[in-house]
Amino acid sequence: MPSTAVIGLQWGDEGKGKIIDSLSAEADMIVRFAGGNNAGHTVHVGSEKYVLHLIPGGILHEGKQNIIGRGVVVNLDALIEEIDGLEERGVPVSERLFIDGRVHLIFPYHCQLDGLAESGRGKAKIGTTGRGIGPAYSDKVSRTGIRLADALNAETFAELLANAMQEKNNFMRKVYGVEPENQEGLLEKTLAQVERLRPLVVDGGAMVRKAHADGKRILFEGAQGLMLDLDAGTYPFVTSSWTGLAGVSGGAGFPPNRIDRALAVSKAYCTRVGSGPFPSELDNAVGQQLRDQGNEYGATTGRPRRCGWFDAVQARYACSLNGLDGVFLTNLDVLSGFEELAVCVAYRFEDGTETTEFPGDLSCLSKITPVYQSMPGWSEDITAARSLEELPETCRAYVAFLEEQMQTTITTLSVGPGRDQLFECEPAGAPA
Ligand code: GDP
Ligand code: IMO
Ligand code: MG
């Protein structure tokens, strides 16, 4: 795999952590290209469980270079906590991690503003993770953000931070009538954190382009999912970055025409955390059964995930937008024990007409009714299966149906959270 991008196909939490960890074994460099510590990527290694938020999923593998790409927004408290947590568990993070100096930093005022904006939205709240992601990306786009590289020079940084704090403090006091929090000693604390990280700061784009030119195998790690993408997702109930293939180039500093293979991770059903449209949501006992069997609680915030049937309209949209070469289908084991399964194959409007295209208009999405194709389920535990042949016939038929609906090859099946609970069923599209 000269260069492979892996993205989330749905609303996040598809199992990217597990898949990236697995693919990392065959990569030389793993580059995270978007999002921040809103992400929670779970990796199980034997009885050990790791939840990664900012650090790429290749970190648990010896001899791999991991880069936090320039498209990521970084909260230094969160990054340092994550580094320390892994080092305490024996992972030599500083030997394996690099951070692009162009990453934008998240400060306490971003987190506070995130919370204030959410309270102001009332019923229309997005249900953000409260990690300051939206306000930090807003500053980046407004050209008032502060980058890690800017903080390498104490004098420049002191001036930038003072200006930013003055602006944010004014805004919080005048617009929200609240006092800014957690600002005491922010300059000194940040300078000390940056000093500690200085040896890891690189030009990530230059590093990845050089590695690629040298024939190294690069893995681009996505965060969130396509339906949370700022442009392609269910706006405004999205995150503030480009989560799909289109985000790789900008977020990693790598030419788009050098990405050889695009793969995505999808659950065998759907989940969503936070508010916003979710056409196949099951707000009932079946949804609760999915939540219980899949242990569907957020890896970052612990919130119960909303659960629903697989949505082929959404999945086909996401596949076609990203020109995917293959899909990893995860959590197939969670569906064991359902007598009947359903797959959403179209959306029906109030006037009785149907569409198989994912609509961009939110008001229209809120009025549609899902049209389901039901399929027989299976009762067997499939967590020990390691080939297609070991799966019950109805399970294979379900996978084949999803593949047909997505018009994209399902290359790999995941039947449990463990590293070994994964097997290939068809080779992914050959690299160009
Ligand atoms: P990510 O954000 O895409 O990395 O996904 P999360 O880590 O937030 O959530 C996925 C959850 O599903 C984690 O708890 C994983 O350990 C778990 N998981 C991954 N693959 C499988 C699978 O095939 N079966 C089951 N039962 N759990 C899985
Ligand atoms: P991973 O990488 C699931 C959701 C939040 C909220 C919306 C905006 O683990 O798949 P934000 O804090 O980004 O401004 O919140 O996006 N969200 C995620 N949901 N998995 C994630 O990441 C998410 N990152 C953000 O719940 O609805
Ligand atoms: Mg997650």
Q: Which residue's CA is the nearest one to ligand 2's atom 15?
A: 128
Ligand nearest to the CA of 416: 1
- 69-80 pLDDT, tens digit per residue, is 999 999 999 999
Q: What is the pLDDT of residue 361?
A: 87
What is the DSSP secondary structure assignment for residue 47, as one 8-state letter? T
- Whether residue 10 contacts residue 314, with contact meaning beta carbons closer than 8 Å, is answered with yes
Report d(CA 388, CA 158) in Å as an integer: 59
Is the pLDDT at 429 greater than 60, yes or no? no
Which protein residues are within 6 Å of ligand 1, measured from CB?
8, 12-18, 40-42, 44, 294, 299, 330-331, 333-334, 414-417
Residue 294 confidence (pLDDT): 97
Among 14, 16, 18, which residue has the most ligand 1 atoms within 8 Å of its CB, making it the best to mutate?
18
Distance 1 CA to ligand 1 centre (A): 23
Dihedral through CA 327, CA 318, CA 137, CA 183, nearest 10? -60
Residue 430 in this model has a pLDDT that exceeds 70: no
Q: How far is CA 82 from CA 8, 79, 254, 339, in A?
A: 22, 5, 26, 42
Asked whether 64 and 96 are in contact (CB, 8 A), the reply is: yes
**CATH level 2 (architecture), domain 4-101+200-263:** 3-Layer(aba) Sandwich (3.40)
Using CA atoms, how far residue 157 sits from 63, 151, 164, in Å, is 34, 5, 10
Q: Which amino acid is at 85?
A: G
Contact 100, 69 (CB under 8 A): yes
Q: For residue 83, which amino acid is it?
A: I
The whole-angstrom separation of Cα 167 and Cα 326 is 46
Nearest Cα to 29, choosing from 149, 198, 204, 264?
204
Is the bond leading into 236 cis (omega within 30 degrees of zero)? yes
The whole-chain average pLDDT of the chain stands at 96
Cβ(335) – ligand 2 distance below 6 Å: no
Q: Please give the structure tokens belonging to residue 425.
A: 């069923």
How many angstroms does the Cα of residue 221 sit away from the middle of ligand 1? 15
- pLDDT tens profile 147-179: 999 999 999 999 999 999 999 999 999 999 999
* Catalytic member of 21, 41, 110, 325: 41
Q: Ligand 1 centre and the CA of 206: distance in Å?
A: 32
Q: Say how far apart CA 182 and CA 112 lie, in whole Å.
A: 9
- As a whole number, mean pLDDT of residues 297-319 equals 94
* Nearest Cα residue to atom 16 of ligand 1: 417
265 alpha carbon, closest ligand? 1
- Could you say which architecture CATH assigns to the domain 266-424? Alpha-Beta Complex (3.90)
Is the pLDDT reported for residue 432 higher than 70? no
Q: 4-43: per-residue pLDDT in tens? A: 999 999 999 999 999 999 999 999 999 999 999 999 999 9
**59-71 mean pLDDT:** 98
Place of tokens 């929090």: 181
And the tokens for 43? 């990796």
Q: Where are the domains of the chain?
A: 4-101+200-263, 105-196, 266-424
Distance 417 CA to ligand 1 centre (A): 6
| Segment 189-236, tens digit of pLDDT | 999 999 999 999 999 999 999 999 999 999 999 999 999 999 999 999
Between strands 29-32 and 218-221, the pairing is: parallel
Per CATH, the number for 105-196 is 1.10.300.10
pLDDT band of 301, cuts 50, 70, 90: confident
Paired tokens of 81 = 């906590």
pLDDT, tens digit (0-9, with 9 covering 90-100), for 361-420: 888 888 899 999 999 999 999 999 999 999 999 999 999 999 999 999 999 999 999 999
Active site residue 333: no
The tokens for 409 are: 């090859």
| Predicted pLDDT of residue 396 | 96
Mark whether 104 is an active-site residue: no
Dump pLDDT digits (tens) for 229-282: 999 999 999 999 999 999 999 999 999 999 999 999 999 999 999 999 999 999
Please spell the DSSP secondary structure of 195-206, one letter per residue: HHHGGGEE-HHH
Q: Is the pLDDT of residue 1 over 80?
A: no
Q: Relative to the alpha carbon of 266, which ligand is closest?
A: 1
Nearest ligand 2 atom, CA 228: 16
